[in-house]
Amino acid sequence: MQAQVSSPIIVALDYDHADRALELADQLDPALCRVKVGKELFTAAGPDLVRTLVRRGFEVFLDLKFHDIPNTVAAAVKAAARLGVWMVNVHTSGGERMMRASVQALREFGEKKPLLTGVTVLTSTTAEELAAVGVSRPLKKQVLSLASSAKNCGLDGVVCSAREARVLRETCGPEFVLVSPGIRPAWSDRGDQRRTLTPSEARVQGADFLVVGRPITAASDPLQSLRDILAEIADH
């Protein structure tokens, strides 16, 4: 899908009810950001909430991290495209057959197809936690391997920690989309994120899009917080 918004900021609508998400969306400007709908909100509010956000002018990142057999995931990303979302994602650890099936499923949408990105290693995950589930190679090598696989399968990019963005940019090229969650301005609390950077640091590292949640959604003036982050990025 051809992006209509130049801002790199994606605001995470991490709520458990449609009304709260739409109340926050009403305080934002769709010309200054995109929004992310994740598992909690989608489970609580369903596809109607996504359609409402699209009608209100927002480009929506549907962050459901699909991971299943190839046919099931292909059908899911196709259903997401029919909602009019701007981006949808899958888990790269689902394997190449699953990723290729997802790419194929979106071809019928032509230029209107959403961006398809793959989750590499969650930003809350540590190297010790990877080792505990049987991943023996270093965390950064795991991320690079999964991202390279995603590119080979035809995905548009990956979701990754901004700390891995530079090496992924060098390896996967300038057109490969890098989406970095867990971004925290220097003035905000890190929360449960581990491998994160500030917005300006993430951009310098090569991230295209930055997912920001509580520093905006928990602010007394969400729109001003969004503008402050954009100004911080512009100053670097």
CA dihedral of residues 21, 183, 124, 41 (deg, nearest 10): 10
**89 annotated as ligand-binding:** no
**H or E element, residue 99:** helix 96-106
Q: In terms of C-beta density within 10 A (0-12 exposed, 13-18 middle, 19 or more buried), how is residue 223 classed? A: middle
**66 annotated as ligand-binding:** yes
- Amino acid, single-letter form, for residue 114: P
Residue of 39, 65, 112, 141 marked active site = 65
**72 annotated as ligand-binding:** yes
With a CB cutoff of 8 Å and minimum separation 6, the contacts of 183 are: 162, 196, 197, 198, 199, 202, 210, 211, 212
**9 annotated as ligand-binding:** no
**10 annotated as ligand-binding:** no
**184 annotated as ligand-binding:** yes
**104 annotated as ligand-binding:** no
What is the token pair recorded at 203?
Answer: 């951009």
**116 annotated as ligand-binding:** no
**34 annotated as ligand-binding:** no
39 is catalytic: no
With a CB cutoff of 8 Å and minimum separation 6, the contacts of 55 are: none
**171 annotated as ligand-binding:** no
Residue 206, Ramachandran bin (φ over 0: left; ψ between -120 and 50: alpha; else beta): left
Q: Which residues are catalytic?
A: 65
Annotated binding residues: 14, 36, 63-72, 123, 184, 193, 213-214
Annotated binding residues for substrate: 14, 36, 63-72, 123, 184, 193, 213-214
